[in-house]
């Protein structure tokens, strides 16, 4: 399964030269190289730790607790936003965007930081939503907020007084219907190469499509320094971070950051 990075990069560059459609399923490990801490979904920033309230962070950042205690959930949403604030796309984000010059690239991300779009990727499906986009839980207006530091706990809509929330998927909530449907449509069309980058693939909607694609003959690749549930199920595994892996592939394709 695993071979030297340069050897795998040679093989994948050859595959990508003939590819028409390529998918990148990305997780927090990709943004870690922008200085963001890795986290599972929205709330695993704390990696399973229990906070001072004596409750697991997955409970605090759940839809159920948000409905009952929005100020508590918002307290930790603000911590996540502060951790993400000021982060810039890294070379891996940029090289994924640059590959669009060669083939049709789709990015399916669990990240809520918006870094793929800022790097220039055009086809991005954000399965876990967007952290800095707010919506009113009452009148469904989308207020403009210049700084999250200005928000009260919990922030409320100026129009109707209901609680505001970011457009992210909290624990126990369903994925966004429109984004999930778009994802399923693109999966049905098929991909020539599928990458899982910086994700533990702990969710079936990440793990299962990669495994199913491999069975159909799609080239499947994992880029992750750690072993995951996909590590023994993909055709190629690059046991390193996203930046060195994608740099090695891009060099063999003659791609550079910022090239579109």
pLDDT tier at 257 (50, 70, 90 boundaries)? confident
* Same domain assignment for residues 49 and 117: no
* Same domain assignment for residues 102 and 191: yes
* Same domain assignment for residues 219 and 190: yes
Long-range pairs for 174-180 at CB < 8 Å and ≥24 separation? 175/127, 175/128, 175/205, 176/126, 176/127, 176/129, 179/125, 179/126, 179/127, 180/127, 180/205
The per-residue pLDDT for 196 is: 98
* Average pLDDT for the chain: 89
Active-site entry in 93, 128, 207, 236? 128
* Same domain assignment for residues 148 and 230: no
Examine residue 201 and state whether it is found in any structural domain, yes or no.
Answer: yes
pLDDT tier at 53 (50, 70, 90 boundaries)? low
* Same domain assignment for residues 196 and 238: yes
Counting residues of the chain whose pLDDT is more than 70, the rounded percentage is 92
pLDDT tier at 122 (50, 70, 90 boundaries)? very high
Q: Can 128 be counted among the known catalytic residues?
A: yes
Q: CB of 227 within 8 A of CB of 199?
A: no
* Same domain assignment for residues 79 and 120: no
Bigger pLDDT: 86 or 242? Answer: 242
Examine residue 218 and state whether it is found in any structural domain, yes or no.
Answer: yes
Q: CB of 46 within 8 A of CB of 39?
A: yes
The per-residue pLDDT for 37 is: 65
Examine residue 135 and state whether it is found in any structural domain, yes or no.
Answer: no
Q: CB of 114 within 8 A of CB of 89?
A: no
Parent domain of 155: 44-85+142-168
SS3 89: coil
Distances in Å between the Cα of 93 and the Cα atoms of 56, 105, 118, 119, 255 are 31, 12, 9, 6, 13
Tokens describing residue 28: 């927090």
> CATH number of the domain that 218 lies in?
3.40.50.1220
The per-residue pLDDT for 83 is: 78
Q: Quick: pLDDT tens for 210-253.
A: 999 999 999 999 999 999 999 999 999 999 999 999 999 999 99
Count of structural domains within the chain:
2
Bigger pLDDT: 2 or 260? Answer: 2
Cβ-count burial of 249 within 10 angstroms (0-12 exposed, 13-18 middle, 19+ buried)?
Answer: buried
Tokens describing residue 26: 């990305």
* Same domain assignment for residues 25 and 97: yes
* Same domain assignment for residues 103 and 188: yes
Q: Quick: pLDDT tens for 177-214.
A: 999 999 999 999 999 999 999 999 999 999 999 999 99
d(CA 106, CA 42): 21
* Same domain assignment for residues 231 and 182: yes
* Same domain assignment for residues 75 and 96: no
Q: Quick: pLDDT tens for 156-169.
A: 998 899 999 999 99
């Amino acid at each position: 399964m695993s071979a030297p990075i340069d050897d795998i990069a040679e093989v994948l560059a050859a595959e990508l030269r003939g590819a028409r459609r390529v998918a990148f399923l990305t997780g927090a490990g990709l943004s870690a190289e922008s200085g963001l801490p890795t986290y599972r979904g929205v709330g695993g920033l704390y990696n399973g730790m229990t906070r001072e309230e004596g409750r697991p962070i997955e409970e605090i950042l759940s839809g159920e607790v948000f409905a009952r205690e929005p100020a508590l959930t918002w307290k930790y949403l603000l911590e996540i936003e502060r951790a993400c604030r000021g982060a810039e796309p890294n070379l891996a984000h940029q090289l994924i965007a640059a590959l669009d010059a060669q083939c049709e690239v789709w990015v399916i991300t669990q990240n809520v930081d918006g870094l793929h779009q800022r790097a220039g990727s055009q086809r991005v499906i954000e399965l876990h939503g967007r952290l800095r986009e707010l919506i009113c839980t009452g009148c469904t207006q989308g207020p403009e907020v210049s700084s999250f530091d200005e928000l009260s706990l919990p922030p409320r809509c100026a129009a109707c007084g209901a609680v505001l929330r970011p457009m992210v998927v909290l624990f126990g909530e369903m994925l966004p219907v429109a984004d999930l449907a778009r994802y399923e449509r693109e999966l049905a069309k098929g991909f020539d190469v599928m990458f899982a980058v910086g994700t533990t693939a702990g969710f079936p909607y990440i793990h299962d499509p990669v495994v199913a694609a491999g069975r159909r003959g799609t080239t499947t690749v994992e880029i992750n320094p750690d072993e995951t549930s996909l590590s023994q199920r993909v055709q190629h595994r690059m046991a390193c971070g996203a930046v060195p892996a994608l740099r090695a592939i891009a060099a063999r394709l003659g791609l550079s950051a910022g090239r579109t």
